[in-house]
Chains A and B, each alone.
Chain A
Amino acid sequence: MAFHHQRRFDESAWAFAVILLQPALILIDHGHFQYNCISLGLTLGAVASICLHRDYLASVLFCLALNHKQMSAYYAPAFFAYLFGKSIRKKNPIFEVMKLGVAVIGTFLLCWWPFLHSRTAEAVLLRLAPLQRGIFEDYVANFWCASSLVVKWKQIFPNTVLAYLALFATLVSFLPSVVQQIRSPSHRGFLLSLFNSSLSFYLFSYQVHEKSILLPLIPASLLILEDFSLYRGMILCAMFSMFPLLRRDGLVVPYIATFALHLLLLNVPFLEKSLSHVKERQHPSLKYMSDGLLFTGCLIDLLYLLIEPPPRYPFLFEALNSLLVFICLVLIGLHSHIQQWSATSTHEQIDADKVKMN
């Protein structure tokens, strides 16, 4: 909301409704049952603080989110890049970085104190990084799973090598976004960077779960008024990628109902005039991709529900599903990287800060 404070009320209200009523989050947290909303909420608080120029509060909130669920680390590069980029533009860069460092380390100490005191921190860390579960489980729409149709990673390399490989790939993929933010930090760039870094983690990281699609989804939803086609593509990807999981949970009817409700929310007849210029600014290529995804995804889901897969390929539909979503995610990722790099730097914003500090 802080980011959109210059918008008209009905646009903001609609965006608010869309962000809060996301079917993916509703189904995962209230259907499958998890508590993602806590860490996501803390992260959103951190993002809002950044948009309100409260960097220390943002750092503290994000560290709390990290300590609630380590998956929030998907956003860490973006936070780091933005805050670092902003700090080096201030009068005393090293001092600024130290101040942020104190905030971060302080929060971590507060959360980990009981474990440090009883010397069980190592056990906690081991649990947080379950390497033995393999590079991917089931059929998730990321690089390792999609490319495993061609290259059988699990059979070629041992887990530790794969872990390093995944780390390397993830680092390389989020590097452009981080560099851009350090070079010219801005609020819009920050949101895009959040999206890009979480997407790159989702695509290339080790042991990614389908539910992690929530992480790139949230920044995309925050950008809804800026780039509607990005959000639409993402929500379709997210929903279709989660379908096998939800089917196993017996949540098919809520899936259909919440998905349909959300698509209806994105196309409200009596808000058409108010939202016309948001819709007009859609990128045609992404729009066509989304439409194609909607059609193909529904087809695959229907087939999945009604037809038995052939005995030779018992997971045919899951594989098709994850491949389709993976391709779309790559396309969306390319688009968002281009967006981030072409975003005009708001040196004026940072300079205004400098003036205030003086």
Chain B
Amino acid sequence: MRGTKQQQQHELQRQQAQKPMNGLREVLWMASVATCIKMLLMPTYHSTDFEVHRHWLALTASLPLNQWYIDETSPWTLDYPPFFAWFEYVLSFFARIVDPVIVDLTRGLKYDAASAVYFQRGSVMCSDLLLFLGTWRFCRNFPLKLQILSYLAIFFSPGLLMVDHIHFQYNGFLLGVLLLSVSYLKEGNDLTGGIMFAILLCFKHLFAIAAPVYFVYLLRHYCHDLARFLKLGFSVMLVILTAFGPFLYYGQIAQVLRRLFPFGRGLCHAYWAPNFWALYNAVDKMLSYLLRMLGFDVVMEKAAMTGGLVGDSKAHAILPQITPGLSMFLVLLSMSPCLIKIWRKPRRDNLLICVVYAYTCGYIFGWHVHEKASLHFVIPLVLAAVDSVKVAKEYYFVSIVSYYSLFPLLFEPREYPVKMIFLVLHSTAMWYGFAINFAPQTQTSVKESELKERNGCMSLCIKKKMFIAGLVGLEIYVQLIHHLVFEERLPFLPLMLISVYCSIGLMYAWLKQLSFVIEL
């Protein structure tokens, strides 16, 4: 009796999942709530990235195409690929209607009147429509409960809210394009997926880290014969030519590439992103202090690894110097197990995990990585977490650690309660969501074998719990104790501690993802 009832329920859910507009109302509702929350965040702190984007609006609006990558009116030069410049160009039309000073090249410098703030923030909110679309498209065949969980995780992600809507950036719609691309690949529509990825690269070249994964996958899965290979190659070339063609015509390609890949910057950002190099730097510093105390003569540069604009001096005192080439080599090396797996088994279901893994490798070993880049792997990971409790545990852990590592971006006291509340509410909601989802009686998977594999309730092992408890302790230290003990001395210590502590967590997450990839 119970068996047939469960079967009927599964059948109903499967039928519901086939409907093309499944979950659309929930998407619209959650998107509206998220937009209202973003509206409430409009008057919050915004960083220099605000001025960067405002300047690009002015740049694209006021100057002809052949000046876009050459102009030096402001230190915030254009360093994204051409499609993003076109995006700013389109936005500038509306900006001009709202307030012409926004797009004025000289008068608009450092302009942050209410009109500019509302316009720019509004543009980020509107561009998030692509994020909603991408997520919905990926999830639309999930059962409704999983869909709601995914939307909860992505639309209300504290990381996106903090980085996009407070600090100010445009990550939402870029991630939306990524999700669209992966959704096409998941459906088997390889050509469209590949083209979308190429388009994404022409918006922000940082996403190119996953290009090897795409390349190998498409080669093995799509290009059965030469005709298809040529079709794919031709389409991708067409996209790239549309983006870079005009600059090729003007002979500015070298300049464009110089802007896109500024390797003059140091290994790490001013705040060390919690990756392998943060640990490397920390070890180097400790060793140099140790050896100094032991009497050796050690040359120590002061704060040489930092510097957002310039800085090529001798960064490490004891350990070997790191070059961009070495960094890229390590990224590729760490990605290789994943590439080998895809070469051997180019299955659609594996693709998301591999793409996420690629971005994780890029984060852990990349050159001059920003902590904001952690969004690239945390956001897509939740879509793999909703139907596998193993991945869910790792996602939960890595999301908390990476969102916490974004806290130093918002350093003003006004935003402190906001970011804390976001993180706590989000973690609690996600925990309950996962716990309810993976409770034995609400299993929605139909096949018995899958049931056994993904079954098991949501719980964290003791090590992870202690690590998260440590985060709480760290926050108390950084906010209260450090000032009491050290007052104004060692001002870099709290940030360094956050960076090193989180990098331990993220390194663990990387290794765990590696194990998933190997098990594929």
Contact = CB atoms under 8 A, between A and B. Distances in A.
Contacts of B39: 253-254, 256-257
Contacts of B124: none
B42 A253 contact: yes
A264 B29 contact: yes
| Chain B, interface residues (CB within 8 Å), range | 10 to 19
Contacts of A254: 39-40
A33 interface: no
Nearest to A265: B33
Contacts of A256: 39
A269 interface: yes
Contact of A264 (B32, B40, B42, B118): B32
A340 B231 CA distance: 75
Contacts of B148: 270
Which applies to chain A's interface (DSSP): helix, strand, loop or mixed? Answer: helix
B36 A268 contact: no
Which of B25, B37, B40 has most chain A Cβ within 10 Å? B40
Given A268-B29, A270-B148, A260 B42 contact: no
| Chain A, interface residues (CB within 8 Å), range | 10 to 19
B26 A270 contact: yes
B32 A258 contact: no
B40 A257 contact: yes
Contacts of B37: 257, 261
A257 B37 CA distance: 7
Nearest to A260: B36
A257 B36 CA distance: 5
Nearest to B32: A264
Interface in A248-290: 253-254, 256-258, 260-261, 264, 267-270
Interface in A238-254: 253-254
B36 A264 contact: yes
Contacts of A268: 29
A258 B29 contact: no
A270 B26 CA distance: 8
Which of B32, B37, B39 has most chain A Cβ within 10 Å? B39
Interface in B139-153: 148
A219 to B, nearest CB: 27
Which of A258, A260, A267, A269 has most chain B Cβ within 10 Å? A269
Contacts of B29: 264, 267-269
B26 A269 contact: yes
A305 to B, nearest CB: 13
B42 A261 contact: no
Nearest to A262: B36
Contacts of B25: 269
Contacts of B33: 261, 264
Interface in B19-53: 25-26, 29, 32-33, 36-37, 39-40, 42-43
B36 A261 contact: yes
A314 to B, nearest CB: 24
Nearest to B145: A270
A248 to B, nearest CB: 16
A253 B115 CA distance: 13
A268 B356 CA distance: 33
Interface in A136-170: none
A301 B67 CA distance: 44
Nearest to A255: B39
B442 to A, nearest CB: 14
A258 B41 CA distance: 12
A253 B42 CA distance: 8
Nearest to A257: B39
A65 to B, nearest CB: 28
A257 B43 CA distance: 13
Contacts of A253: 39-40, 42-43, 118
A256 B26 CA distance: 21
Interface in A91-113: none
A237 B42 CA distance: 26
A260 B29 CA distance: 11
Contacts of B42: 253
A261 B40 CA distance: 10
A254 B32 CA distance: 14
Nearest to A259: B36
A239 to B, nearest CB: 14
Contacts of B26: 269-270
Interface in A180-203: none
A270 B40 CA distance: 24
Contacts of A267: 29
A213 B312 CA distance: 64
Nearest to B42: A253
Interface of A: 253-254, 256-258, 260-261, 264, 267-270
In the A-B complex, list the 7 residue pairs whose CB atoms are closest, starting with the nearest. Answer: A257-B39, A261-B36, A257-B36, A257-B40, A269-B25, A260-B36, A269-B29
15 contacts: A253-B39, A253-B42, A253-B43, A254-B39, A256-B39, A257-B36, A257-B37, A257-B39, A258-B36, A260-B36, A261-B33, A261-B37, A264-B33, A267-B29, A268-B29
Given A253-B118, A256-B39, A264-B33, 12 more contacts: A253-B40, A253-B43, A254-B39, A257-B37, A257-B40, A258-B40, A260-B32, A260-B36, A261-B36, A261-B37, A267-B29, A269-B26
